């Protein structure tokens, strides 16, 4: 066991070097965007609540923000299908202005790493209390430092629990002139 204790370090270094070398090859890795699981969110009937959806762009890739700087670039967009009488709105984070090796003088507005899309959910008063699933797709188009990949759709799904609004506070009844002890 002791005789081989020195092997893993150079092997790991080598593996890391090879991984770096192969990462530079366009198409070696497939771009990915994944969504973190979202716990069921409680939303009150008649009120707007926000559900944060967290996404992660694979290392070495970027995707356009929702407001890319060129009309030809494909913005990241979330389309949701909500049950009737549940009104949804989507708020995108600001992208990061970054230049890339393929165009050092031009900045693109992109998402890299982790980003969060805020979804506002407002069940109308007519919605029956209970759990509802909201489904949709996140459309994105990814590039690395030398190539771009066709647009993709990531299925998105999360659950909300619609609850009744608490009853409005009642007016204080008239105070008894008597002192209760």
Partner 1 sequence: MRRDPVVLILVALLVTFMLAFGFHRARRVSNQIGAPAPNAKGGVAPDFTLQSLDGKTVRLSDFRGKAVLLNFWATWCQPCKIEMPWFVELQKQYGGQGLQVLGIAMDDASPADIAKFAKDLGVNYPVLVGKEAVGDAYGGVQFLPATFYIGRDGKVVDKVFGLKGRGEIEDDIKKALGQGQAVQAQK
Nearest to 68 by CA among 103, 115, 107, 117: 107
Nearest-approach distance from CB 92 to partner 1, in angstroms: 18
Nearest-approach distance from CB 33 to partner 1, in angstroms: 16
Q: For partner 1, give the closer residue by CB, 143 or 162.
A: 143
Binding site for partner 1 (CB under 8 A): 3-7, 10-11, 14-15, 17-18, 21-22, 25-28, 72-74, 100, 102-103, 106, 108, 141, 143, 146-151
State phi, psi for 67 to the nearest 5 degrees. Answer: -130, 70
Strand-pairing partners, residue 109, are: 97
The span from the CA of 130 to the CA of 122, in Å, is 14
Q: For partner 1, give the closer residue by CB, 125 or 146.
A: 146
The span from the CA of 69 to the CA of 108, in Å, is 6
Nearest-approach distance from CB 64 to partner 1, in angstroms: 8
Residue for token digits 């929702």? Answer: 66
Residue count (the chain): 181
Nearest-approach distance from CB 154 to partner 1, in angstroms: 17
Q: For partner 1, give the closer residue by CB, 139 or 161.
A: 139
């Amino acid at each position: 066991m002791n005789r081989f204790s020195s092997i893993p370090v150079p092997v790991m270094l080598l593996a890391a070097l090879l991984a770096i070398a192969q990462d530079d090859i366009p198409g070696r890795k497939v771009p990915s965007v994944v969504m973190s699981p979202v716990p069921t969110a409680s939303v009150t009937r008649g009120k707007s609540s926000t559900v944060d959806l967290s996404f992660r762009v694979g290392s070495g890739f970027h995707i356009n923000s929702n407001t890319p700087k060129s009309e030809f670039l494909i913005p990241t967009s979330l389309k949701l299908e909500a049950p009737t009488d549940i009104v949804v709105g989507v708020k995108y984070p600001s992208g990061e202005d970054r230049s890339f090796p393929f165009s050092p003088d031009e900045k693109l507005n992109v998402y890299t790493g982790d980003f969060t899309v805020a979804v506002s959910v407002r069940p109308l008063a007519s919605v029956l209390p209970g759990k509802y699933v909201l489904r949709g797709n996140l459309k994105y188009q990814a590039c690395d430092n030398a190539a771009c990949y066709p647009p993709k759709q990531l299925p998105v799904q999360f659950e909300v629990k619609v609850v009744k609004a608490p009853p409005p506070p009642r007016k204080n009844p008239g105070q008894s002139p008597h002192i209760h002890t």
